[in-house]
Structure 1
Amino acid sequence: MSTNKDKAIKATYLSILGNFFLALAKGITGYFGNSYALIADAIESTTDVLSSALVLFGIKYSTKPADSNHPYGHGRAETLVTFAVVGFLVISATIIAIESIKNIQTPHETPEKYTLIVLAIIVIIKEVFYRIVSKKSDETHSSSLKADAWHHRSDAITSLMAFIGIAIAIYMGPGYETADDWAALFASFFIIYNAYLIFRPALGEILDEHLYDDIIEDIRKVATTVEGVIDTEKCFVRKTGMTYLVDLHLTVDGNITVSEGHEIAHRLKDAIIKEIPEIADVLIHTEPDDLP
């Protein structure tokens, strides 16, 4: 059975190979087809190759087991990689915007019609990639893989914008030669917006923002099945890589021994990790039910 790490790595290799060949196809078609919108797309896909390689490194490093120097594991490395991926998005959007403005101010030939066929194929491929990688990110709870999925979606949108711009340039005739450059410029702003959508949850993750009410609810449900558990009070969940760490307050009968309370806490921890495999560890504080 494939682990979350295996699923994430396979999805990332798909991204790397797909972006490499698409960047090549876009660059060649854009150069010979007189379309900067396609060349801009190729630039973004090239940065996608680099960012996907970074995601691959982050996934492999973040899933390393805990050691004496990193008792909570290496999971936060994945969040840092997500920030780096956002940086790649911002850089590529900036390059596209600058070059688009330059091309708008410089007369050039109308793009070739066959560029529309290439763009239509690219839009379909990138949307399929987005759905595959996004599904894997949901399955593995990987924030960097989610960022990689959004790279595919933003690429599909920029390709669609390029398609619209080139179609206008071709079919509207003289005076509309820069339509594909305007499309590339518009796409750069969309990329920046996507970068924010990726950055915001990653920031919440690294700041331990309260985001996991669904997991807390599942934890409390599991607790009701463990003999000796009277109640659960405070429950805090924080994400580290593709797993979660939990701090939980457990209420037990105040008349039992410390050893018995300890045993109940261990049974609860084992039950939680068994029923919710994405939880890596649970720290339980045991309290008696007769506290004033």
Structure 2
Amino acid sequence: MTQHDNQVGAGLAASAAGMAVNLVLALIKIITGVVGNSYALIADGIESSADIVSSLIVWSGLKIAARPADASHPYGHGKAESLAALIVSAALLGAAGLIAWQSINEILTPHKAPAWYTLIVLGVVIVTKELLFRFVFSTASEIESSALKGDAWHHRSDAITSVAVFIGIAVALIGGERFNAADDWSALLACAVIAYNGLKLLRVAFDELMDKAAPEGMAEKVRALAGKVAGVVTVEKCRLRKYGLTWVVDIHVEVEPTLTVKEGHDIAHAVKDTLRGSEMKIADVLVHVEPVGTAHEQSV
């Protein structure tokens, strides 16, 4: 099994775990919200249900991105992962808007204070979702999946909303009838945090789809590795772009002008093999060989 296969497998497992946990928590929150008279908790449960759809999108995106290149997609299907990240980020913003709308509606509608036992359920939910966030985010960081990071932030946004609802219900129970809508106000404030993270993840997804340059320092590492290959005099140009869970490199290396075409070809292959064999998750390398001293400025 290749490193890429391991990455995809880890991502799929994390996404599936998120779907399973969200399904259980959504049912618990909705039932408790109905019985315990907390619309904020019901809304929280509905948001968890939406998270299941988001996780399914991430899971599907990773599955598609893992497909090998074919006649219709000669460069592979890696962009599916970035598209999934875009959809999940938009869903996060949508969830923030939906919860905000529901909270405002509840604030304007007089209702009884929630039951005390809703706090116990929320406590369990908060701990569970935070642990799930850390697990999924750790996996996403390890495999460099922006879609899975978006999925992780869905879990944390759920935890943040639950914390807000917990505080609001506690205030309502302690403060009495005057504070019956405290949980709704808390949920409304939590929407700002959720929306902020949605926008941040949306930007990352757009950057990947627009082939933004690699993080600072990565190109230098590629240059250094390529420069150590026997026969390479210097590296004239190096560009990287993210493609799904991996990176694609375009590199120009300079060699001695007296080398034969075959010798230059062998050096190019050595550069490609060296970079693909590194730990930088490089899937493909396009190597352009130039005689040393003839490099000239080109527009990018």
- Out of 267, 284, 287, the residue aligned to residue 287 of structure 2 is 284
Letter matched to residue 146 of structure 1: K
Aligned partner of 1:77 in structure 2 is: 80
Which digits, 9 at most, give the CA deviation of each residue in 1:194-225, with x for residues without a partner?
11011011111110111333331221221233
- Out of 152, 157, 177, the residue aligned to residue 180 of structure 2 is 177
Tell me if 1:245 matches 2:245: no
Aligned partner of 1:256 in structure 2 is: 259
Question: 1:224 and 1:290 mapped to 2: Cα distance?
Answer: 16
Aligned partner of 1:3 in structure 2 is: 6
Partner SS, residue 69 of structure 2: coil
Question: 2:15 and 2:110 mapped to 1: Cα distance?
Answer: 40
Shift of 1:188: 2.1
Alignment of 1:156-195 (within 5 A): 156-195=159-198
Task: Identify the range of structure 1 (45-54 vs 187-196) with the bigger mean alpha-carbon deviation.
Answer: 187-196
Question: 1:130 and 1:242 mapped to 2: Cα distance?
Answer: 20
Aligned partner of 1:232 in structure 2 is: 235
Question: 1:104 and 1:277 mapped to 2: Cα distance?
Answer: 51
Alignment of 1:124-143 (within 5 A): 124-143=127-146
Partner SS, residue 217 of structure 2: helix
Q: RMSD of aligned C-alpha atoms? A: 1.4
- Out of 273, 276, 289, the residue aligned to residue 273 of structure 1 is 276
Letter matched to residue 217 of structure 1: E
Shift of 1:181: 0.7
Task: Identify the range of structure 1 (48-57 vs 183-192) with the bigger mean alpha-carbon deviation.
Answer: 183-192
Aligned partner of 1:120 in structure 2 is: 123
Shift of 1:129: 0.6
Which digits, 9 at most, give the CA deviation of each residue in 1:141-164, with x for residues without a partner?
111111101111111111111111
Shift of 1:261: 1.1
Aligned partner of 1:221 in structure 2 is: 224
Letter matched to residue 270 of structure 2: R
Question: 1:213 and 1:260 mapped to 2: Cα distance?
Answer: 32
Task: Identify the range of structure 1 (181-190 vs 66-75) with the bigger mean alpha-carbon deviation.
Answer: 181-190
Question: 1:92 and 1:42 mapped to 2: Cα distance?
Answer: 12
Partner SS, residue 239 of structure 1: strand
Aligned partner of 1:87 in structure 2 is: 90
User: Is contact 1:37–1:183 with CA below 8 Å preserved after alignment?
Assistant: no
Partner SS, residue 121 of structure 2: helix
Share of identical aligned residues, percent? 46
Unpaired runs of at least 5, structure 2: 296-300
Question: 1:112 and 1:235 mapped to 2: Cα distance?
Answer: 62
Unpaired runs of at least 5, structure 1: none
Question: 2:235 and 2:74 mapped to 1: Cα distance?
Answer: 26
Shift of 1:277: 5.7
User: Is contact 2:23–2:52 with CA below 8 Å preserved after alignment?
Assistant: yes
Question: Aligned residues, how many?
Answer: 292
Question: 1:6 and 1:126 mapped to 2: Cα distance?
Answer: 22
Question: 1:232 and 1:40 mapped to 2: Cα distance?
Answer: 56
Tell me if 1:61 matches 2:64: yes
Aligned partner of 2:32 in structure 1 is: 29
Partner SS, residue 260 of structure 1: helix
Aligned partner of 1:100 in structure 2 is: 103
Question: 2:61 and 2:156 mapped to 1: Cα distance?
Answer: 21
Shift of 1:230: 1.2
